[in-house]
Structure 1
């Protein structure tokens, strides 16, 4: 029986601890800051805190301390920790000031030195005593703070240990016959206790209905019925109104989902609370009945909230307002699964409250919780099994490009749910009923957290960003009223959304781990240590000090640059100093300002000049062993970034590499040449070497075109032609205008140079090409061709002889080619001409040949 009574205590302690942890993290605990009396000395306050810590240590030394007592001591310890942190923060500068005042008197003279005057001796004694007291108080305060932090960790460890022991306490299995036999034996007595308690309550309740108290109860029931009727009547109208809106963007769908959550959850929860408040106010809830009614109210509110969440995310039957990208079958399955699990959980909580009200035996509690957990696990496994993709969908997904279907995205969730369901059943079979009940609660809790997390993430992405960057009233007010630009609002929206997402993720993780024994104070303690710092070698390293140092350094840089702009733009131009001296003064002021900003930043970190000297000495050892080039490039990079002799986008010539500066890094500079190659140049070469920057002062480019023309042309016409071609181009600047130089007068040619300026050096090549085309066309028009006739005298005889020879040759060819019939037949081996030539004049017929001696036969000899 001792084991059974121990398990019963474990049931109650685990359930109460889990519920309390959930409520503690859902509703953040407000810090109980105790205001200390300013008139009390720090040492007296410290002694009072140490006394309370001693009492807390005595309470923790009790081995039978309860979980509620541990929680009470933890709440008592938290304000003491805050007071100790405040006290040490106040005492540290006092101790430092006392030390500085003592050091101002110098070292105490030794025995051989002349003695101090009485006034100096008394002052030294007073300051030494003050410093000793302040230093002692600071050391005791830090030691007490460490003791309090250790106590806080011990309380957390004890609570987690108690929770783990209660959670994994082994007991009889639900299949143990002894459990069932004991339950059947005690069931008549439990039934009589139920009839006695609830029967008496029902009789009292019935009697009270006809008394003045019944009016209050009747009003509460009527109010609950009215809420349910209003929900049933107006909820369809609200849904239809939201669906009828023309604007169907994701943001308005999300807003509609949030409105539905409130509209579907508030009436049932408020109606249940009205009934509970009416019964409680009328005095009709005795101590044993009150937990049962409260569990019923909680169950109804839980069921309504879960249904509202599922409807907002999955929207069964209304895919147009669905926030989760799943199919209709999956949406319906998820809605059925979530509602069924919520109903089982609500029934289980009511049954547990009923068992506690009738003081039922442990065996009946084991059976009831086991049955509820078994039904929960079976519904979970069956519902997840229904989430599988059917065969037709899988075949369609394999036909075309890969498109993930529900099974691909819900596969990990389904496997995890099956593991949890099997773990619940195994825990019941092995006797770990508390663990099985705890797992069922976690399934509902994590499901609610996941749904709320998805909704809030979408609200951050769609709601906040759109309100700041859209054309809504709020964004227009910020632009018009405050003067923020759209780009600035975009940056603010991105940063704000990122911060809110980080906070949401951290809070969600804390809430998910809270039922397992991890409390918010454990995480906040670690975050506080990281933010407010910890001691490393006498220096406090903290995120807050680093942020403050960066802000101070940034303010110093801004002030320095403002001073430089004022010197360069307003003050120095009023003096008679030359330009070089002005630049030197402005640069020197910048160096002094940068050094001052760095000193302020380091001092806020607690790094004095002595510590910086030690760091520089340590670095000098590494520099001496081969880091000279690295440090040289590093310093040169700082010079390039500060003085900006070379800027990103400048066209520079370094050695034989010419191109555009793309990036200036700490060690090297990247230059992209015109053939799109990257040249990496060390920064020291740019600082100590010769660099030609074509756009140092401005980005205007110079176009130079040289031409040579014949000497017979008029130079004035050539100059006018070149100027007209340059002025006609739209990219050539009017001021300074184009110019033409007469460079050289040669024997047969003249050389001219056309010089003009364009707005950007990047377009010099294109403008040069365009001008070359235009000059060539105009020069062709300017150079008219000259006809030239060549006459040779003294060759008349040769010409007459050549003419006679040509005539004789033509006659001989014509005689041989003409046949007897008077036709000239020419056989050509090539293709036929397209058109026949006109017949030539018929040559005179040749004389008939004399008859041959062979009897009239012609004899042709080839």
Structure 2
């Protein structure tokens, strides 16, 4: 590459020397050899120049090195000079030919009767052919000159773009003399371009100040001043009056006014610049390059208006009590000039960068502008932090303790200080592109996070005010929807969460898809729409619009499914012959199948094709193999319980030492309510795999059995009659199966009897048994019949004269 470049440059130098020598020879021999042919073959030289230009274009398209591009730019400029020299050398020759043609005069008309000799006709024809050839060569030389200049401008644009993208490019330290060279030794091409573009700007101003346009220009200039000075002020006052008199009391007033201050400042600045631009560029004769430059300035005013507006809203020096951030008045006053200064710096140097782009200045001038911008922004980053610290220190010395800083505020100050040092260090060691990138990204991140701070407060405060019953809006919403206050609070929290989530997404989108130098609102909107359509997410097969549609589909389907389930449970199924347990099973099974269908429909709306769900099945199978066995087993067991119904809702079951009523059969587990109203969660698989006692299956009757032990000296017949009479008199003992008394055992302990009776269900056993025991105890006590008492062992120790050993007497007494 380097050898080829040197060869090109030597070849161009030889061409230039040859053309220069020929021009000098033509000038010296002009008076002596008026008809001599030029020694340079112009056609051959122009062909060689065209070949060289094509080769330079080919190298430019494949070159990414700044040094190579710089060499190619020098070669293109030298080629332009040589083409211009060659074209200028052909002009005198063309003038000679034109003079000879003028001497010969025009050819006589066919019908004039005048005839000229053949030598004159041939000479005129030869001179005309020569003139045509010279005209074509001069046009070709001009075309080569313009093509070389255009190529040089394109190379400069490529180098400028590389300065923005190649952050690791070392373009020289700002402490070197080469960096400051554009101030005292500018490039000749730069001077010409700047002079020409300056003349176009001056011509634009002159046209707008012409007598026929002067009145309109004055009106637009006056409108710009009025909007910037009076319009912004009165609009802020009006919005402050609205926040005080029309908005409900609370935090919404502060967040609304802060947002209004930022928007009014932005609107005033943008409108003022639009009026100024219209004042000078509304005339048709204005140059297109000037119009493009002014348009870029108008777009630039949006970013500068955001910086100034957000700074004023954040500091709120005019209304300290309305300030959102926890900043003391002294600190706010100390920071007051910085937003305006930074906005002005960004506008001035971005306007300079746009000027360089429009003019096509050299890379050295562009590097100088970028470095100066980064230098001033880095200095201000450090100065802002130092001024805040000095203000706080002065407040402490004056016994005026400043409010405690939050951790976030301390981190922001630290990050800003470190960022400023990084910018200054990168400029000192020569990485101007990196310093420019960090400085502009710092401003862009500040704009995004400040906007997010204001809008998030506005979203949360607005949601709270809309659904708060302490104001008329919340009461109107409550009365119109006829809902409880707690639901309004839930709606408020949900709306605030949704709005803040949207703001977070916009913040992330702005951080990764925008910059302060290339992101106008139209560009950001276009990128957002493209992202909404799935651009940039093709590899992931994700389209945000389809995802949102799928979420809406999911929410709507769940609402419809719950409404249908409620209709089945409350209206339709109670009118059928199904028992309660069967109805609950049908509703649960319907819900499970419905949720599966809802998930499938959501995936379909999201754009997932059915033939591409193999990865989902594979993932599920792998997950099942590594840890979802129990979940799937419980799910399948739940489906079996709902279809086979070995147990159902309402059954009295016993499992694992627990006994209670089944209240609900879920997808994974079953809820069993015990007699003490506590609930036991039993996995569905245990109800399938273990022994379960279902006391109410098949409407089984309950048996009330009471075993009792009596002394040996009672009358068994009388006791039997008492027990049977107590059972028969209880109205919940069934008559179709009469109570009975069984003789169970006869031993030294007494007589064991057991009385048995049937009740309608198992659930009545406990309560009926309690009633019977009370009644039996009363009857036996009235009849003087006692139950047997347990044996007692009494050990006595007796002492007698001359007897040292104790005597143990064992007595067993029975008490009646």
- TM-score, normalised to structure 2, is 0.52
Map 1:353-368; keep pairs closer than 5 Å. Answer: 353-356=354-357, 359-368=360-369
TM-fit CA distance, 1:323:
0.8
Report the Cα distance in structure 1 between the residues aligned to 2:325 and 2:293, rounded to whole angstroms: 37
The separation in 2 between residues aligned to 1:621 and 1:444, in whole angstroms, is 51
Q: Distance in 2 between matches of 1:236 and 1:547?
A: 39
Deviations 1:680-731 (A, max 9, x none): 76566678645899xxxxxxxxxxxxxxxxxxxxxxxxxxxxxxxxxxxxxx
- Structure 2: how far apart are the matches of 1:640 and 1:526? 47
Change (3 A) 1:300 1:483: same
Per-residue deviation, 1:452: 0.7
Give the C-alpha shift of residue 224 in structure 1: 1.5
Q: 1:453 Cα deviation (Å)? A: 0.6
2:227 alignment partner in structure 1: 227
Residues 235 and 263 in structure 1, CA contact (< 8 A), matched pair in contact too: yes
> In the alignment, is residue 569 of structure 1 matched against residue 570 of structure 2?
no
Change (3 A) 1:335 1:294: farther
1:64 maps to what in 2?
Answer: 61
The corresponding residue for 2:28 is none
Shift of 1:320: 1.3
* Cα displacement (A) at 1:257: 1.7
Q: Do the aligned residues in 2 keep the contact of 1:659 with 1:672 (CA within 8 Å)?
A: yes
Q: Residue in 2 aligned with 1:410?
A: 409
Partner of 2:147: none
* In 2, Cα distance between equivalents of 1:467 and 1:252: 13
- The 3-state SS of whatever aligns with 1:305 is helix
Offset at residue 597 of structure 1 (A) = 3.7
Any unmatched runs of 5+ in structure 2?
A: 6-57, 65-157, 519-523, 604-608, 697-770, 785-816
> How many matched pairs?
533
Q: What per-residue deviation string (whole Å, max 9, x for no partner) do you get for residues 240-274 of structure 1?
A: 74686596521111112222223333223212211
SS at match of 1:261: helix
Residues in 1 aligned to 2:63 and 2:463: alpha-carbon distance in whole angstroms: 46
Would the aligned equivalents of 1:556 and 1:593 in 2 still touch at CA under 8 Å?
A: no
1:282 is paired with a residue whose SS is coil
Distance 1:447 1:210, change over 3 A: same
Mark the CA change 1:317 to 1:622 in structure 2 (over 3 Å): closer, same or farther: closer
Q: Which residue of 2 aligns with 1:326?
A: 327
Match of 2:452 in 1: 453
- Once residues 587 and 479 of structure 2 are traced to their aligned partners in structure 1, the CA distance between those partners, rounded to angstroms, is 36
Secondary structure of residue in 2 paired with 1:212: helix
Shift of residue 204 of structure 1? 6.3
Distance verdict in 2 for CA 1:562–1:295, change over 3 Å: closer
Distance in 1, matches of 2:328 and 2:656, equals 63
**Matches of 1:584 and 1:299, distance apart in 2:** 71
Cα deviations by residue, 1:544-585 (Å, 9 ceiling, x for unpaired): 77986897687567545533544543344xxxxxxxx64576
Cα shift at 1:377 = 0.9
Q: What's 1:631 paired with?
A: 633
CA contact (8 A) 2:381 2:416 kept: yes
d(CA) in 1 for partners of 2:317 and 2:231? Answer: 19
The alpha-carbon deviation at position 380 of structure 1 amounts to 1.1
What is the aligned partner in structure 2 of residue 169 from structure 1?
169
Distance 1:557 1:546 in 2: 17
Distance 1:214 1:594, change over 3 A: closer
What residue is the counterpart of 2:378 in the other structure?
A: 377
CA offset digits 1:50-88 (Å, max 9, x no partner):
xxxxxxxxxxx9993999xxxxxxxxxxxxxxxxxxxxx
Relative to structure 1, the CA distance from residue 356 to residue 678 in structure 2 (aligned partners, 3 Å threshold; closer, same or farther) is same
Report how far residue 464 of structure 1 moved: 2.7
Aligned to 1:463: 462
Q: Give the SS at the match of 1:406.
A: coil
Q: In the alignment, is the contact (CA less than 8 A) between 1:549 and 1:602 conserved in 2? A: yes
CA distance in 1 between partners of 2:59 and 2:359 (Å):
32
TM-fit CA distance, 1:363: 2.6
Cα distance 1:183–1:547, how it changes in 2: closer, same or farther (>3 A)?
closer
Matched, 1:512 2:511: yes
Q: CA shift at 1:454, angstroms?
A: 1.0
1:491 to 1:639, Cα distance in 2 relative to 1, 3 A = farther
CA pair 65-277 structure 1, distance change in 2 beyond 3 A: farther
RMSD: 5.9
Supply the distance in 2 between the matched residues of 1:499 and 1:243 (Cα, whole angstroms): 24
Q: CA deviation at 1:467?
A: 1.4
Residues 640 and 646, structure 1, Cα contact 8 Å, conserved in 2: no
**Using the alignment, how far apart are the partners of 2:585 and 2:268 within structure 1?**
72
Distance 1:660 1:214 in 2: 92
Q: Which residue of 2 aligns with 1:257?
A: 258
2 CA distance for matches of 1:467 and 1:569?
41
What is the Cα deviation at residue 421 of structure 1?
1.8
For residues 405 and 619 of structure 2, what CA distance do their matches in structure 1 show? 61
Provide structure 1 residue ranges, at least 5 long, that are not aligned to the other structure: 6-60, 68-157, 535-540, 573-580, 694-738, 752-862
> What displacement does 1:325 show?
1.8
Alpha-carbon contact 2:624-2:632 (below 8 Å) kept: no
Contact kept, 8 Å, 1:468 with 1:490, in 2: the verdict is yes
**Contact 1:296-1:350 at 8 Å conserved across structures:** yes
Question: Which whole-Å CA distance do the structure 2 matches of 1:484 and 1:299 have between them?
Answer: 49
Q: CA deviation at 1:279?
A: 1.2
Distance 1:393 1:745, change over 3 A: same
Aligned partner of 1:501 in structure 2 is 500
Could you say which residue in structure 2 is the equivalent of 1:346? 347
1:598-637 to structure 2, matched below 5 A, reads 600=597, 604=601, 631=633, 635=637
1:214 alignment counterpart? 214
Shift in Å at residue 196 of structure 1?
6.4
Question: Displacement, 1:410?
Answer: 2.2
Is 1:422 equivalent to 2:427 in the alignment? no
Q: CA 1:387/1:671 → structure 2, altered by over 3 Å: closer, same or farther?
A: farther
1:307 — aligned with what?
308
- Take 2:783 and 2:670, find their aligned partners in 1: how far apart are those partners? 48
Distance in 2 separating the partners of 1:629 and 1:229: 70
Offset, 1:461:
1.1
State the Cα distance separating 1:396 from its structure 2 match.
12
- Change beyond 3 A, Cα 1:376–1:678: same
Q: Report deviation, 1:640.
A: 9.4
Partners of 1:633 and 1:445 lie apart in 2 by 52
Secondary structure of the residue that 1:332 maps to in structure 2? helix
| Whole-Å separation in 2 of the counterparts to 1:626 and 1:383 | 57
CA distance in 2, matches of 1:240, 1:467: 19
Contact 1:261 1:309 (C-alpha < 8 Å) held by counterparts: yes
How far the C-alpha of 1:426 sits from its partner, in A, is 2.9
> Structure 2 CA distance, aligned partners of 1:555 and 1:309?
45
Aligned-partner Cα distance in 1 for 2:313–2:628:
65
8 A contact 1:169–1:432 mirrored in 2: yes
Deviation at residue 191 of structure 1 after TM alignment: 6.7
Relative distance call for 1:559 and 1:388 in structure 2 (3 A) is same
CA contact (8 A) 1:307 1:335 kept: no
Confirm or deny: 8 A CA contact 2:172 2:430 kept in the other structure: yes
Partners of 2:299 and 2:470 in 1: CA distance: 43
In the alignment, structure 1 residue 437 sits paired with structure 2 residue 436: yes
Q: Secondary structure at the match of 1:279?
A: helix
Q: What is the alpha-carbon distance in structure 1 between the residues aligned to residue 428 and residue 506 of structure 2?
A: 35
For residues 616 and 189 of structure 1, the distance between their equivalents in structure 2, rounded to whole angstroms, comes to 65
**3-state secondary structure, aligned to 1:64:** helix
Give the SS at the match of 2:420: helix
Secondary structure at the residue paired with 1:177? coil
Specify the alignment match of 2:12 in structure 1.
Answer: none
Residues 498 and 62 from structure 1, CA distance in 2 versus in 1: closer, same or farther, beyond 3 angstroms? farther
TM-score normalized with structure 1 length: 0.49
Superimposed CA distance per residue, residues 306-331 of structure 1 (whole angstroms, 9 cap, x where no aligned partner): 23212222312533111112222333
